[in-house]
Amino acid sequence: MPRVSVSRIMPAPQARIWSVLADIANARRWNTSWTRIEITSHQTHGAGTAFRAHTQDGQTYDFLVSDWAAPECIAFSPIRDESEPRYGVTLESHAFRLRPAEDGQTYVELTAHATARGIRGRLVGLFLWPGHQKHGLETALDALESVFAAEADDGGSAAVSEGSPPGG
């Protein structure tokens, strides 16, 4: 199974980073390709929460929160229709893992897991997919980190102005 991870230390406590990631309705704050999030399940947080992400080009993608271990791990898995074509490499999930670091900071790791089918899929998964996926993961971590930089610049008021709930 192809897998790629990126990580960094972020300038915010683990609980604060968790609260941003766990606020599914405002996930566009850390995923800049999503313009709008629509919760499609009755529950709004926790494993089993389903949502639809809208992009600038009018596409929509459905996801399920497939893992939730507050405040350490949250994973998002695409929801696929049985009629969807099967590709050589198929994304299975993106998972954020958090752990405390020194000076009130947090170590954040973002991992993409995929499946590879056939010899062509395995080759793509081994040689091409990791680089492409790593770029996207770095972009997501850049956007997540910018949330906390904006909060530091505003003295912490960015969380209130975005309407995100405290905690998670």
What are the pLDDT digits (tens) for 37-90? 999 999 999 999 999 999 999 999 999 999 999 999 999 999 998 887 778 899
Contact (Cβ atoms closer than 8 angstroms) between residue 112 and residue 3: yes
Task: Give the amino acid at 125.
Answer: G
Q: For 126, what's the count of Cα atoms within 13 Å in the CB-facing half-sphere?
A: 7
Largest CA distance in the chain: 53
Q: Which domains does the chain have, with CATH numbers?
A: 3-161 (3.30.530.20)
Encode pLDDT of 37-48 as tens digits.
999 999 999 999
Report the pLDDT averaged over residues 137-162.
Answer: 76
Residue 122 pLDDT: 85
Cβ neighbours around 157 below 10 Å, total:
11
Q: What percent of the chain has pLDDT over 70?
A: 92
pTM for the whole thing?
0.87
Closest CA to 147 of 53, 38, 26: 26
Q: What is the enclosing helix (H) or strand (E) of 45?
A: none
Report the pLDDT averaged over residues 123-134.
Answer: 88
Distance (Å, rounded) from C-alpha 166 to C-alpha 168?
Answer: 7
Residue 159 pLDDT: 44
Residue 151 pLDDT: 81
Distance (Å, rounded) from C-alpha 19 to C-alpha 98?
Answer: 12
